[in-house]
Amino acid sequence: MAPIPSKAEVERERDRIRRSKAFRKALSGTIYSLLVIAALAILVSSLVLPILQISGDSMDPTLKDGEIIVLLRTKKISKGSLCSFTWNNRTLIKRVIAGPGDWVDIADDGTVRVNGEVIDEPYVTERGLGECDLEFPYQVPEDSYFTMGDNRNMSVDSRSSKIGCVHSDQIIGQVWLRVWPIPRFGPVDRDWRA
């Protein structure tokens, strides 16, 4: 016959069982909270704030190869903003130069006019006509946007019939925030107006 435990031993065993139950309850609550947070983060990132990594130099110096950005999902795109859109199962990022119904004219030296007015382009370091097979002046079709990369000589964009104007159905959203690299963290200048 086993000896009867003392009152102190019973109390220690009861405390051990209580601590074990409290630990399991806290652990399961923490895991549940983390799962809910992860699910919400995935929903937000895919539905409202998609995250993309820049690949290529077509938007240099504004966006550099390897940087990670956050988009704001919207169909309301303004002139001068950086927008992301789909083309041939790829996601591209370009600057909106002109909107529906606008007239675009690009000179041989790369000077861009929209509706007859030269636009200020402080983000362009080297002007150029780039890959272009359009005849100017060119009118942007309804529900479409004329886009160009900031690195004009490296970018294939609306100046080429390969891509053409971006229809509003192709638009994913507007570039909002640069999150990587850390020294360049912050909002991406999207308030320029043509």
Q: Residue 191 — very low, low, confident or very high, per pLDDT cuts 50/70/90?
A: very low
Q: Length of the chain in residues, anyone? A: 194
Q: What is the mean pLDDT of residues 130-139?
A: 84
Strand-pair partners of 86: 91
Distance CA 57, CA 130 (A): 14
pLDDT tens column, 101-126 = 999 998 888 888 899 888 888 888 88
Q: Residue 189 — very low, low, confident or very high, per pLDDT cuts 50/70/90?
A: low
| pLDDT for res 142 | 92
3-class DSSP assignment, residue 130: coil
CATH class of 53-187: mainly beta
Do the beta carbons of residue 148 and residue 160 sit within 8 Å?
no
Nearest to 116 by CA among 127, 101, 105, 128: 105
pLDDT tens column, 58-99 = 888 888 888 988 888 877 888 888 988 888 888 889 999 999
Q: Residue 32 — very low, low, confident or very high, per pLDDT cuts 50/70/90?
A: confident
Domain ranges of the chain: 7-47, 53-187
Distance CA 104, CA 125 (A): 20
Do the beta carbons of residue 152 and residue 111 sit within 8 Å?
no
**Encoded amino acid at 3, one letter:** P
Strand-pair partners of 167: 144
